[in-house]
Amino acid sequence: MNQPSKINPGRGRIVSYWLTGLILTLSLASLHGSIWRGSRDLHTHMEIIATLLAAIVGALALVRFYAKKNNTFLFIGTGFLGTALLDGYHAVVTSELILPLMPSDLPSLIPWSWLASRLFLSVMIFLGWYCWFRSQRVGAEGTISERTVYIYSGLFTLTCFLFFAFTPLPTGYFPDIAFHRPGEFGPALFFLAALIGYLKKGRWRDDSFEHWLILSLIIAVIGQTLFSSQSGQLFDYEFYIAHLLKNASYICVLIGLLFNMSLISRQAEEGEGLFRGAIESLQEGFAYYGPDDRLKIYNDEFVRLHSTVQDIIKPGLLFEDLVRITIQRGGIAKAVGREEEMLRERMEQHRNSPGSILRELTDGTWYIISEAKTPEGGIVVTHTDITELKDAE
């Protein structure tokens, strides 16, 4: 009997990569040389959209990085935020209001400021892959600190701003050669290197973010090599297709980030559910107090062993308030007649985590309290009911 064939998502994704490349190349390249021309206003609007997209992608990538640190997201987040600044600068300085204040005219300013943005992003995405590759070979030494990434990215962006603001630029177009803007092959090479690297990495087979990142890189490579490099003059067909593909590549990364963050959220919810199920299965009372000494997590057995104060037990309750109210309501047998002294004694034990504490309640319940500090400064408390053992003595 033949077994049903398993669906291979990796194979389907390979097909999508080929189709993306072929469809974009054949459909858009067929109109090469079109006499259609756009306008400066259309260019400004497209760059404003690109700026907003890059800013959103950069912010989300850094949120993802700090939620679960991975240097790929650090480089991508920083790269897109820097690109948002450069794209925004590109849109502003080429606008009708600002252009007269610049030392260069449009045929120089637009291609070179565009190139700076594309080069920065391509290098940052490539470095995101290279940092992962290096960490696989040398371990933790291959990682790069956030501070280093932020400093060098900021310096590059600031240098670009000052350079374009004060330096007269040569023309960005070379009509006598086949590729009128040969500088576009610089970013294309970094995008291509990153594409090859992420394909070899292989996580695109089951990782939605890297799948969409590869689609973004395919679009970026096509945009740089087939369109941006062959734009012969401002606002021609190739010029705008390159801008359109740039925005499409940003959207691909955004989609990948949204899928990834949704997955992380689901995993966190599942993990929390498993953890809560585990602590509820414990026979001991369990509670966790955060570094601020407020109750974060507890199970039903913990509530049962605090029968006199069950109504106040909830997340956010201060440990000291729990002890004080328990004593005030006469819940601890040893505290009767010496309430303040008992409170001070229990708080001192709590701060110093002396080990096990034997406690008798006024309802006849006996239990052992154990406390342990966590690395982040919280305290785990367990209560073990030994009433039956005491009654048997």
The pair of structure tokens assigned to 159 is 């240098």
Whole-angstrom Cα distance, residue 154 to residue 157? Answer: 5
Q: What is the pLDDT of residue 4?
A: 47
Is 10-27+35-272's fold the same as 282-392's?
A: no
Whole-angstrom Cα distance, residue 249 to residue 218? Answer: 8
Q: What is the pLDDT of residue 1?
A: 44
Question: Which fold would CATH assign to domain 10-27+35-272?
Answer: Rhopdopsin 7-helix transmembrane proteins (1.20.1070)
The burial of 259, by beta-carbon neighbours within 10 Å (0-12 exposed, 13-18 middle, 19 or more buried), is given as: middle
Map tokens 């955004």 to a residue. Answer: 254
* CATH of region 282-392: 3.30.450.20
Phi, psi of 237 (to 5 degrees): -55, -50
Q: Where are the domains of the chain?
A: 10-27+35-272, 282-392
Per-residue pLDDT 10s for the chain (393 aa) are 455 445 567 889 999 999 999 999 888 778 887 888 888 889 989 999 999 999 999 999 999 999 888 899 999 999 999 999 999 988 887 777 777 778 878 888 889 999 999 999 999 999 999 999 998 988 877 788 899 999 999 999 999 888 887 888 888 888 888 899 999 999 999 999 999 999 999 999 999 999 999 999 999 999 999 999 999 888 899 999 999 999 999 999 999 999 999 988 888 888 888 888 988 888 899 999 999 999 999 999 999 988 889 999 999 999 999 999 989 988 888 888 888 998 998 898 888 866 688 888 888 889 899 988 888 889 999 999 888 887 776
Q: DSSP for 206-268, please give it.
A: T-HHHHHHHHHHHHHHHIIIIIGGG--STTBHHHHHHHHHHHHHHHHHHHHHHHHHHHHHHHH
User: What's the whole-model pTM score?
Assistant: 0.78
The pair of structure tokens assigned to 323 is 């002890």
